[in-house]
Structure 1
Amino acid sequence: MYLNLIQLAASFGVSEKVVEDWMRREGLPHLPDRGRLLFDRAQVANWAASRGLAAQAGFLAPEVPAFATGFALEPLIRTGGIWREIAAADVPEVLARIVTSLPGATAPVRALLAQRLRTPGGVTLAPVGGGFALPHPSTRVALGRASGAVALLLLRDAMPLADPAPDTVPVTRLIFFIAPSPRAHLDLLGRLSRTLLRGPLREAIARGASDEELFAAVAAADAAMGVAGKGVTS
């Protein structure tokens, strides 16, 4: 059975842009066919299983929700923090500052990560629509179970993009994340993409909520997924 791009994105609960990033950066199997992309169901299932990634709906949905034993975002975003009125030009330096305070990582590792984030191509920026994007390290890292962070950056001006946003809305809201392992990286990417497509966090950001209201919205999203209070696992 073959799925098209829209069906596959819906199955994982992510944007089509995220699926295209998986194709380019994660080796997601696909087949060009007369100007469109097709995905073999069995190949995709094997690819996802090898990365600890599971679908949420549609053709690839498991019988048990994938995040029934997942991780909570609230502790991660409290670690990374909420950064307001950030100039787009200052984003690389802010990301470097975030990783220099990562828990569970040694000082040399934090310094190396900060250096990587400051270099050209060190950050992948994945637009998800509605003015949101998910920047994350281009190189996967293995930090260990105790590490990882999520940070919300609210920008003063639009972030320049190499490719246009999927809905042409200027990107002014970033959720940066760094995961403890490559498997957790994919989990975080899918989870955050779903969280920004709809739900309390997106609504709270749109209405200019306070930091504590935003933390509460993240906790509500965790509770809706049945993962409140659980940390990231590798």
Structure 2
Amino acid sequence: MQLSVRDAANILKVPTKDIYDWIKQEAIPFYKINEEYRFNRVELLEWASSRRILASPEVFLEAETEDERLPSLLESLKAGGIFYHVGGNDKASVLRAVIDTLSFPEEEEVDKDFLYQVLLAREALGSTCVGDGVAIPHVRNPVVLHVTNPSIWLCFLDHPIDFGAPDGLPVNILFTLISPTVRDHLHLLSRLSFALLDKTFKAALKRQASQEELMETVSSIEMAQTALASGSAVPIR
């Protein structure tokens, strides 16, 4: 879907003037079609995630109206898993080490070498870092992998590395996101971006808390996010 300036402003919860300012600065991904500015929803939410800009809850509600149930962040993290002491000394070797930890159901014949090249290609377009030592490597076009279930793998690195982060900080926490559809991808990216604003979750990530504690924290965050999307006032902790 090609979004208008007003659509982009509504999703990012900012005045349209901010959108035009970002366009002038070429700080936001946009297209000019028939003398009008347009935005791609995937690119916009990826950009918002990297800037720690929380998208409007309407993004989630729009998807929830579909017949197919959307995956939760907790379910996807359980499907992938949490891993500690992942090796690597640079971006390429870390991504290789991360991919080596990934496991898929037998019916999903994912070519890990192909996945590695796709993730490297995505990083070449722009770093997937979102700041504070966190990156979210993912496939730009989810359908190329032919997976049937969305998964998120949380990997803690042995050594912080330069990942081209906007804040200049080295990265030691990776959330690798793989989903079967663009819709699932956008939904999980938004959910994860929301979770990374939570102070309790960020603190747990920094001290590399246990799997049980991390899962419990994510569960609490999703309850808060559901309340926010439904209009209830639940503050970020």
What is the rounded CA distance, in whole Å, between the counterparts of 2:174 and 2:45 in structure 1?
25
Of 143, 147, 151, 1:149 maps to 151
What is the rounded CA distance, in whole Å, between the counterparts of 1:104 and 1:142 in structure 2?
18
Measured against aligned partners, the alpha-carbon deviations of 1:75-114 in whole angstroms (never above 9, x if no partner) come to 2112211111112345333433354x2238433xx1x2x1
- Matched residue type, 1:130: D
Q: Provide the residue aligned with 1:172 in structure 2.
A: 172
Higher helix proportion: 2
Q: Provide the residue aligned with 1:97 in structure 2.
A: 100
Of 6, 10, 13, 1:11 maps to 13
- Matched residue type, 1:132: V
Q: Provide the residue aligned with 2:129 in structure 1.
A: 127
What is the rounded CA distance, in whole Å, between the counterparts of 1:67 and 1:195 in structure 2?
18
What is the rounded CA distance, in whole Å, between the counterparts of 1:117 and 1:129 in structure 2?
24
TM-score w.r.t. the length of structure 1 is: 0.64
Q: 1:224 to 1:146 in 2, by over 3 A?
A: farther
C-alpha displacement at 1:196, in angstroms? 1.3
Percentage of identical aligned residues: 24
Q: Provide the residue aligned with 1:212 in structure 2.
A: 212
C-alpha displacement at 1:132, in angstroms? 0.6
- Matched residue type, 1:151: W
Contact 1:95–1:117 (8 Å) recurs in 2: no
SS at match of 1:153: strand
Of 159, 162, 168, 1:160 maps to 162
Which ranges of structure 1 fall in alignment gaps of 5 or more residues? 13-18, 20-28, 228-234
Mapping of residues 16-31 of structure 1, within 5 Å? none
- Matched residue type, 2:193: S
The total of aligned residue pairs comes to: 195
Q: 1:47 to 1:104 in 2, by over 3 A?
A: farther
- Matched residue type, 2:226: G
C-alpha displacement at 1:171, in angstroms? 1.0
The structure whose RCO (Cα within 8 Å, separation 6+) is larger is 1
Contact 2:71–2:184 (8 Å) recurs in 1: no
- Matched residue type, 2:187: D
What is the rounded CA distance, in whole Å, between the counterparts of 2:60 and 2:99 in structure 1?
37
Contact 1:152–1:174 (8 Å) recurs in 2: yes
Q: Provide the residue aligned with 1:24 in structure 2.
A: none
What is the rounded CA distance, in whole Å, between the counterparts of 2:99 and 2:61 in structure 1?
34
Q: Provide the residue aligned with 1:26 in structure 2.
A: none
Note if 1:137 corresponds to 2:139: yes
What is the rounded CA distance, in whole Å, between the counterparts of 1:131 and 1:173 in structure 2?
6
- Matched residue type, 2:167: D
Q: 1:174 to 1:189 in 2, by over 3 A?
A: same
Measured against aligned partners, the alpha-carbon deviations of 1:179-198 in whole angstroms (never above 9, x if no partner) come to 11122222222221222133
Which ranges of structure 2 fall in alignment gaps of 5 or more residues? 47-53, 228-237
What is the rounded CA distance, in whole Å, between the counterparts of 2:87 and 2:190 in structure 1?
27
Contact 1:80–1:150 (8 Å) recurs in 2: yes
Note if 1:85 corresponds to 2:85: yes
Contact 2:108–2:148 (8 Å) recurs in 1: no
